[in-house]
Amino acid sequence: MSGASSRTVTVRAPATSANLGPGFDALGLALELCDEIEVTAEFGGLQQPVVVDVEGPGASGVPRDEGHLVVRAMRAAFAELGEQPSALRLTCRNALPHGRGLGSSAAAIVAGVAAAAELAEPGKLDRQNMLELAARLEGHPDNVAACLLGGLTVAWSNSAGTASATRADVHADVTPVVCIPPEAVSTETARGLLPATVSHQDAAINAARAALLVQALTRQPELLLVATEDRLHQAYREPAMPQTIALIERLRADGLAAVVSGAGPSVLVLGAAVDVGQVRSHAPDWDVRALPVRRTGVAVLRTA
């Protein structure tokens, strides 16, 4: 680019639920609840401090400078593209609750990467490039894959740590219901409770259930209760979220395929035509709502 130029982009990034029970660090689901960012970037002018405005959930607890996660993701993407803007103004309109296991950090990272890719050189970073960068920033690929691609995603990393993912459409009858508790739990705390090793039997059970879960979500929703059984992570997290695990046990006893959403403490209920009232009766003090599957991932809404 020559001379000073300014561009503005608006990006919408969806909530995601990872793991889905047995698919630990691999399966992800995009949901129809989105954070929106608007970014104006100037290239070639005088260097100016970044300006950050935030509204909505989590607004009081995030930095208003270079430390903001969206800004950090944008800077990383601009570095990949070989050009940093001289000025950045970011407005975040948050809808995703923070620290609840619904992918707020993944949404911030993916939104930032997508915005930078559009502002600098549209088309230079393709979806695979964006996934690799977002996964490096997040530390694992499951949430960012679903946020980027939409639908149901299976994500993995090769021996060099490079992330890849594939997506599938979810059966039209499946409408997830989420139960969001009033209190947050950090992902670091939840992950810190996981053991270094698990038994061969538990690993084999989870492998079978994860494979079955893909079939259940895409073709046979009647299998979701058995397909969402988990032996790798949920029970180990109970000390950090006893109410979450207790709610899951009540819901599953009532025939509902309930799992920890991501690292928790939210609960995700999967099924065909799930009765929200039935779910709410088990969690009267939680925010219980149906969130349809988002068929597409991150969206660039407007560029000027």
* Structural domains counted in the chain: 2
pLDDT beyond 80 at 117: yes
Looking at the fold, whether 53 and 153 belong to one and the same domain comes out as: yes
Strand pairing of 23-43 and 5-19? antiparallel
Whether the predicted pLDDT of 304 surpasses 80: no
Q: Is the pLDDT of residue 166 over 70?
A: yes
Inter-residue contact 151 to 170 (CB < 8 Å): yes
Same domain, 113 and 231: no
* Pair 42, 134 in one domain: yes
The model carries a pTM of 0.95
pLDDT for residue 108 is more than 50: yes
Q: Is pLDDT of 302 > 80?
A: no
pLDDT surpasses 60 at 155: yes
pLDDT at 220: 98
Same-domain status, 52 and 119:
yes
Instruction: Identify whether residues 82 and 160 lie together within a single domain.
Output: yes
Give the per-residue pLDDT at 275: 95
The span from the CA of 182 to the CA of 97, in Å, is 10
User: pLDDT over 70 for what percent of the chain?
Assistant: 99
Return mean pLDDT, the chain.
95
Stretch 199-224: mean pLDDT: 97
Q: For the chain, what's the residue count?
A: 304
Indicate if 100 and 185 belong to the same structural domain: no
**285 with 298, same domain?**
no
Better-predicted residue by pLDDT, 302 or 130 = 130
Mean pLDDT of 256-280: 96
- Is residue 206 pLDDT above 80, yes or no? yes
- CATH code: domain of residue 16: 3.30.230.10
Asked if residue 146 and residue 9 are part of one domain, the reply reads yes
> Do 14 and 107 form a contact (C-beta atoms < 8 A)?
yes
The H or E element that residue 208 is part of is helix 200-218
CATH number of the domain to which 198 belongs = 3.30.70.890
One domain for residues 51 and 64: yes
Q: Give the SS3 label for residue 261.
A: coil
298 in the same domain as 272: no
Within this chain, do residues 27 and 98 fall inside the same structural domain, yes or no? yes
Q: Assess whether pLDDT exceeds 80 at residue 189.
A: yes
Of the candidates 299, 304, 302, the one whose C-alpha atom is nearest the C-alpha of residue 114 is 299
Same domain, 16 and 86: yes
Q: Give pLDDT, residue 186.
A: 87
Range of the domain at 143: 5-168+294-303
pLDDT over 70 at 1, yes or no: no
Reply yes or no on whether the pLDDT at 268 is more than 80: yes
| SS3 state of residue 57 | coil
What is the percentage of the chain residues whose pLDDT exceeds 90? Answer: 90
pLDDT by residue (tens digit) across 67-100? Answer: 999 999 999 999 999 999 999 999 999 999 999 9
What's the rounded Cα separation, in Å, for the pair 35 and 12?
6
Q: How far is CA 73 from CA 107, 218, 271, in A?
A: 11, 32, 34
